[in-house]
Amino acid sequence: MTIPQNPLEPGLYIVATPIGNLGDLTPRAADVLSRADVIAVEDSRVTAKLLHHIGIKRPMTPYHDHSAEGVRPGLIARMATEAVALVSDAGTPLISDPGFKLVRDARAAGHLVVTIPGPCAAVAALTLAGLPTDRFLFIGFLPSKAHARAEAIAEIAAIRATLVLYESGPRLAASLSALAEGLGDRDAAVTREITKKFEEAVTGTLTQLATRYADAPPRGEIVIVVAPPGEAPPASQDDADTALAEALTRLSTGQAASEVAKKLGLDRKTLYARALEMKG
């Protein structure tokens, strides 16, 4: 690719890059990258492959969780006279990465800020999942510790929106189980390798998906999409009895009824009476 002679206006250019298939890089994104004075990158090796794909070489500087605080002032200063492009390893910058502080400080300094939109794994997963898209909430990654993860899930349990989360293969089954415990057994989808050769979207309830991946954690980058409250089919009497029987091995009758009522969205008084009957 021949680099155009006309320079970009100084400022910050937020450039979305492919999440898998390099053919998804837009012509506008390629043009901006080819004319940027410097590209702020998560991993120079990843971005170098993308630049090689479009036949260009440009200066790169690290900008990630570990370097951002130290690098940001210098990048802001350069924006006064140079065009700085910001990319992530894959997808749209600022989505689950530290770029928002660079945008905030660039605006505070009075620099031009331009976005070049393109691929985003969260949005792509929504299109594959077959779940409601009129209202959705992006969660990012859940905490790795079980207690913190349960608290985070409890905070979003009542939100009437489809939930979108990022996850890794080794943590997938545990996160799906925690989501089923905290949200109830909602319909969900696990999408992975989006836009790549082995792209897939596996659907089912959270419990079914947790069981599927318990002994076979998948590879690749994963997005979980969870239906809003009310989308899953109502719990049956068998579901309630099974949940009560398990809860009664750990909790008092009242506590078991409360836990199952919250988990399955059923009436606590009815469950309490059923729990007494089961114990009798």
pLDDT in tens, 130-182: 999 999 999 999 999 999 999 999 999 989 999 999 999 999 999 999 999 99
- Report d(CA 210, CA 188) in Å as an integer: 11
- Residue type at 160 in one-letter notation: R
Mean pLDDT of 108-136: 97
**pLDDT given at position 177:** 97
Place of tokens 């940001």: 72
Name residue 96's beta-bridge partners.
none
* Stated pTM of the model: 0.78
- Report d(CA 8, CA 43) in Å as an integer: 23
Tokens of 192: 């992975």
- Report d(CA 108, CA 111) in Å as an integer: 8
- From 188, 176, 198, 87, select the one nearest 132 (Cα to Cα): 188
Where is average pLDDT lowest: 37-46, 61-70, 73-82? 61-70
Place of tokens 């009815």: 270
DSSP assignment of 200-235: EEEEEEHHHHHHHHHS-PPPS-EEEEEPPTT-SPPP
- Report d(CA 101, CA 133) in Å as an integer: 28
Q: Is the pLDDT of residue 1 over 60?
A: no
**pLDDT given at position 5:** 59
Mean pLDDT of 235-254: 89
Mean pLDDT of 181-189: 95
Indicate the CATH number for domain 122-226.
3.30.950.10
**pLDDT given at position 144:** 92
- Report d(CA 20, CA 119) in Å as an integer: 9
- Other C-beta atoms within 10 Å of 222: how many? 23
Size of the chain in residues: 280
- Per the model's pLDDT, the better-predicted residue between 262 and 211 turns out to be 211
The CATH superfamily label for domain 11-119 reads Tetrapyrrole methylase, N-terminal domain (3.40.1010.10)
Place of tokens 């690290």: 62
